[in-house]
Structure 1
Amino acid sequence: MKRKTSLPTLTKAEEEVMQIIWQLERCLVRDVIEQLGDPDMPHSTISSVVRILEKKGFVGHKAYGKTHEYFPIVTKEEYAQQGVKSLVEKYFGGSPKKLVSFLVQNDDMNLKELNEVLKLLDTNKKK
């Protein structure tokens, strides 16, 4: 599903929690804390971050009494697409070609990977 409006930017902490919610698909705050691997993390801190994510439109919840089960509303792909688009606009003048050129010139993309990208482009063109 394509969004007509852009998504708000996430802070580093919000993005870290969102990555876990994307991975788990449905979770409680305690599940997020467990995945963070920090048993001393206050429940209230993560709960606040999750509520902010809900306010920003990234997650929804289903209530079971006082317990809330959270689930992503925005897909990881939607957020990534917006992030890449923003990166290309900010740093490469809106040109994906300049981004690919940058990656190749800085040895971040080898010929095999470049060839795979070309194949993907060709496949998309045929669709």
Structure 2
Amino acid sequence: MAGRKVVAITERQFAVLRVLWEHGPQTVRGLMEHLPRGESQPYTTVLGLLQVMEKAKLVDHEKEGLTHRYRPLVSQQEATGSLLSDFLSRFFHGSAEQLILGLVDAEQLGADELRAIEARLKSAEERTSSGHKDEKDQPGGKRGRTKR
């Protein structure tokens, strides 16, 4: 999560953010239509969730007549990073190595996935050993930016 620290995100908040990333800014009713069936909630519950998310700087809204249209303030990468960080600390004592080794031991990774991980690790190792980071890894770089 380059650039800024994102507060811990709940599964329900992530479901709302996913709708906003995939479908663009939405009213409360629009969000309700796009939420997965298991996530559907009464209007006032969704509105309350959006208000909490707005206070946490996860979403913002623009007033359109009598309605509010909500948009995400965090990128999908920032939110995913926040969830992964929380998951790692809760279940793997912060160790990404334990997570990956657990996936390998449980045979959850296919050959293609293992090759992709290996290539990504090699690239990261080369950047680290050369002392340079890509622009996308710098605060404000391509990966760390969010549109406002």
Do they superpose with TM above 0.5? yes
Gaps of 5+ in 2: 128-133, 135-148
Judge conservation of contact 1:59–1:71 (CA < 8 Å) in 2: yes
- Cα offset for 1:30? 1.6
Structure 1 segments (4+ residues) deviating >4 Å: none
- Cα offset for 1:41? 5.2
Residue type matched to 1:91 in 2?
F
CA 1:95–1:119 in structure 2 vs 1: closer, same or farther (change >3 Å)?
same
Specify which structure has the bigger relative contact order, considering alpha-carbon pairs within 8 angstroms and separated by 6 or more residues.
2
CA 1:109–1:45 in structure 2 vs 1: closer, same or farther (change >3 Å)?
same
> In the comparison of the two structures, how many residue pairs are matched?
124
* Corresponding position of 2:32: 33
Q: CA RMSD in A?
A: 2.3
TM-score by length of 2: 0.70
TM-score by length of 1: 0.80
* Corresponding position of 1:86: 86
Instruction: Give matches, 1:1-127, under 5 Å.
Output: 1-3=2-4, 5-10=5-10, 12-36=11-35, 42-124=42-124, 125-126=126-127, 127=134
| Alpha-carbon distance in 1 for matches of 2:110, 2:122 | 19
CA 1:100–1:71 in structure 2 vs 1: closer, same or farther (change >3 Å)?
same
CA 1:121–1:86 in structure 2 vs 1: closer, same or farther (change >3 Å)?
same
CA 1:61–1:42 in structure 2 vs 1: closer, same or farther (change >3 Å)?
same
Deviates more, 1:43-52 or 1:63-72: 43-52
Gaps of 5+ in 1: none
CA 1:77–1:85 in structure 2 vs 1: closer, same or farther (change >3 Å)?
same
